[in-house]
Structure 1
């Protein structure tokens, strides 16, 4: 049930990252950015892992008040859906952000428009997608359990590190989620640290994961940290 994100090898070519991770786990999440941008499904053909794709997010904003940027963001994510469909992978999305507090109402309307378009695209490609909760910066959508209403009936990915930054991990563990991102921190910085290097109680996290029958991905910043995290979580 626990796999590893290619984020820990983001400076290496995607094929190299997949080679290294497939020796450790049968579940891999591709950080669809930089060297790991998945332009076609062909690179995945020689691997037997269960894949998830973390959709591109740098420079994208599906809640953007500027319509051309919002539309372009939907286009990039729809292309991601097309690749995901070919390999049978669900997709994790960021829920967008607003730049100024007085733009929030408009940004919410833009997000709802994007949600409708993404739902239609996912149906067309027969792809499942979910939104993850975000870190502690004020302009992010979906930071606390109370914010879950914005995604409607969409599936939810619980990022435990982000929840810890916002001081609401216990509340999120009581919600309905189908997937998790696992990384540690001390509640002060989004450090994507190795499990055990912060103050998150992963006994509670893994217990909740098992109760919900959710899948989970280790999303730490180094390969050694990913290996250590996997071993630590397997021991719980």
Structure 2
């Protein structure tokens, strides 16, 4: 089954977004930011859907050299794990970034440290999480397959649009993933377009998804694009 992220309705209150998406699919990923920030699992408990949660990322940085910020970022993720545990949801996290090029090695060490702490927290709450590859954003980690070693024993979320923007989708498709984000672009911007509106060949993507047995998440910026993507990808499934 294909899932849909609440990103496409992020301008709406979360209960409204959940109701509208639930009319299309029983698999929903909550973009745990802004109007959809989850203070508790209560908004999700009234739905019988399968949930995943995209942990807060705009104000967090697991690779920060500023130790109070790194610790707080881990704490925010752990709070997300606590909510996820109530609805048996998979959690997606971002790998963070370094502020200056010459701080990359130290920031990578901080990321590894943070992920070790998150592995312990995930075991404590009985949830699974995976780390998402990033788009062509300066100073962010995990933009290419060569950096997958940074996440160690953590799961991996393949964001197809991000990989295409960095011209390395084929390389990422060769690696096993625990979670998938599907959206399109023309490789010049992280546009989160409907499938078919960009230049990604989704046939090999869907072949990898089907081999994994994991329900992928359509992560587009517009609700109509989510509906379009659901229809297009449904023909490939």
TM-score (norm 1): 0.98
Can you give the 5+ residue segments of structure 2 that lack an aligned partner in the other structure? none
1:101-131 deviation line (CA, Å, top 9, x unaligned): 1101110111111011111111110110000
C-alpha contact (below 8 Å) 1:131/1:151 kept by paired residues: yes
C-alpha contact (below 8 Å) 1:178/1:215 kept by paired residues: no
Q: Secondary structure at the match of 2:130?
A: strand
Q: Structure 1 residue 138 and structure 2 residue 158: aligned? A: no
- RMSD, aligned α-carbons: 0.7
Deviation (angstroms), 1:212 = 2.0
Q: Secondary structure at the match of 2:158?
A: strand
1:228 alignment counterpart: 228
TM-score (norm 2): 0.98
2:187 alignment counterpart: 187
Deviation (angstroms), 1:181 = 0.2
2:42 alignment counterpart: 42
Number of equivalent positions:
236
1:136-158 deviation line (CA, Å, top 9, x unaligned): 12311001111100001111110
Q: 2-side partners of 1:180 and 1:192: how far apart?
A: 14
Can you give the 5+ residue segments of structure 1 that lack an aligned partner in the other structure? none
C-alpha contact (below 8 Å) 1:178/1:213 kept by paired residues: no
1:215 alignment counterpart: 215
Deviation (angstroms), 1:214 = 2.4
Q: 2-side partners of 1:225 and 1:81: how far apart?
A: 29
Q: 2-side partners of 1:214 and 1:16: how far apart?
A: 26
Q: 1-side partners of 2:125 and 2:178: how far apart?
A: 20
Q: 2-side partners of 1:212 and 1:126: how far apart?
A: 21
1:15 alignment counterpart: 15
Q: 1-side partners of 2:74 and 2:128: how far apart?
A: 15
